Amino acid sequence: MNSLIPFNKPYIAGKELHYIAQAVTLGNISGDGEFARRSASIMEERFKIHKVLLTPSCTAALELSAMLVDIQPGDEVIMPSYTFVSTANAFARMGAKPVFVDIRPDTLNLDDRLIEQAITEKTKAIVPVHYAGVACEMELISTIAEKYNLKVIEDAAQGVNSLYHDQYLGSIGELGCYSFHETKNFICGEGGAICLNSEELVDRAHILRDKGTNRQAFFQGLVDKYTWCDIGSSFVLSEINCAFLYAQLEMFDQITQRRQQIFDTYYQSLLPLEQNQQLRLPCIPEDCTSNHHMFYILLPNKTVRDGLMNHLKQKQITAVFHFVPLHTSPMGEKWGYKLGDLPISEQAGDCLLRLPFYYEITADEQKRVISEIQDYLSHSVSQIDRAIPLAFPATEL
């Protein structure tokens, strides 16, 4: 019997426990200590971000963003439906309406051609989500945002260390949000960061993430006592997590190189199946440098996708689908959305399968995944299903 190939396996870079011990010895294990400072400055320097603040999750960073841009009840926020729930929830909890726009068939990112028609008097912000670590068309999105005076908040949960042209994701919009959840490229259990791309946002961000107090200014000796001065919450990441994260961030290049190898192996091995129209591979436009967050394939339809997923499961290989489009959720229905509204998002929900992808996956394990996919698609897919044209053209738009 073959051993189980999991979908994800958190990678321990090496010095995590060492740095946690140091944090404990230093005596400060709440937030904004030595390891928060070190982790933030690695990112600020590498990604050229004005200010990075560590948060307990990307969800928290998105919520903090919604507070920082002063989202009010009745505001509208443009975003993809094919995303994680936090993208929408962060704004909905402030009373805003998520306005879902369909995705591009090539990158599965927000379709920039559909944004302008979704803008109304009430539109306040656009939230591009960089799916699989591949950048959205930020040039177009920034131009539209400028024209209509909208804020851009990047959901770069999956895009840490990816680039659009020569700009790192998270550094392009007003605000950017990162995740260090154990399923992402660089991890600390649960964790995240907010990227503040202008100085004006910094003071208020400190206040909002520290329970609405000016404690940060107090610690810096700028005020002689600290007090309640805004409506905030508790969005500071513990030093224990920051110490763990620092060990990962030190290994940026090594982790990224390994992920690229895994991605390339899948890509090259599955390319004949794409050329044979049996599946479609991820598309990375020329102006994007991916962090290789994941490897997905697009199957002709849901029957083939689910059939392949079950086949792999029987062979002890864990492959998983991804987002159920938010406009089809019970919350989406409350805003009047229904099945059929966003066809590409729905097809991605039905046809996409993510393959096992983690630092320590072995060459043999990858071979097993690849040969089971080849086997299934060549022998078990009915003529009818094979004849259905792919929903997603392989060529770039």
Binding region for ligand PLP (CB under 6 A): 57-59, 83-84, 86-87, 129, 155, 157-158, 179, 181, 192
CB neighbour list of residue 174: distance below 8 Å, 6 or more residues apart: 69, 151, 152, 153, 197, 198, 201
Give 3-state DSSP helix, strand, coil % of the chain, rounded to 5. Answer: 40, 15, 45
Q: Do the beta carbons of residue 230 and residue 212 sit within 8 Å?
A: yes
Directed axis angle between helix 252-275 and helix 363-379, to 10°? 20
- Minimal distance, residue 107 CB to ligand PLP, in Å: 14
Q: Which CB atom, from 129 or from 281, has the smaller least distance to ligand PLP?
A: 129
Question: Closest separation between CB of residue 371 and ligand PLP, Å?
Answer: 29
Nearer to ligand PLP, 58 or 390 (CB): 58
* In the complex, minimum distance from the CB of residue 348 to ligand PLP, in angstroms, rounded to a whole number: 13
Closest CA to 177 of 103, 288, 89: 89
Tell me the residue ranges of DSSP E strands in the chain: 51-55, 76-80, 97-101, 123-126, 151-155, 163-164, 167-168, 175-179, 192-196, 288-289, 296-298, 352-354
Q: State in angstroms the smallest separation of the CB of 245 from ligand PLP.
A: 12
Strands 123-126 and 151-155, sheet pairing: parallel
- Of the pair 156, 390, the CB lying nearest ligand PLP is at 156
- Residue 185 or 216 with smaller CB distance to ligand PLP: 185
Residue with Cβ nearer ligand PLP (54 or 273): 54
Residue 66 burial (CB count, 10 A) = 25
Smallest gap from residue 87 Cβ to ligand PLP (A) = 5
Question: Are 175 and 193 in contact, with CB atoms under 8 Å apart?
Answer: no
Among residues 130, 139, 69, the alpha carbon closest in space to that of 104 is found at 130
**Least distance from C-beta 392 to ligand PLP, angstroms?**
20
Alpha helix (H) residue ranges in 228-362? 239-249, 252-275, 302-314, 330-334, 343-351
Smallest distance, ligand PLP to C-beta of residue 83, A:
5
- Copy the structure tokens of residue 43: 């990112």
Q: Which pair of structure tokens corresponds to residue 127? A: 């939230």
Cβ distance to ligand PLP smaller for residue 342 or 381:
342
Nearer to ligand PLP among residue 65 and residue 86 (C-beta): 86
Least distance from ligand PLP to the Cβ atom of residue 128, Å:
10
Residue with Cβ nearer ligand PLP (223 or 324): 324
Q: Per DSSP, what are the bridge partners of residue 123?
A: 76
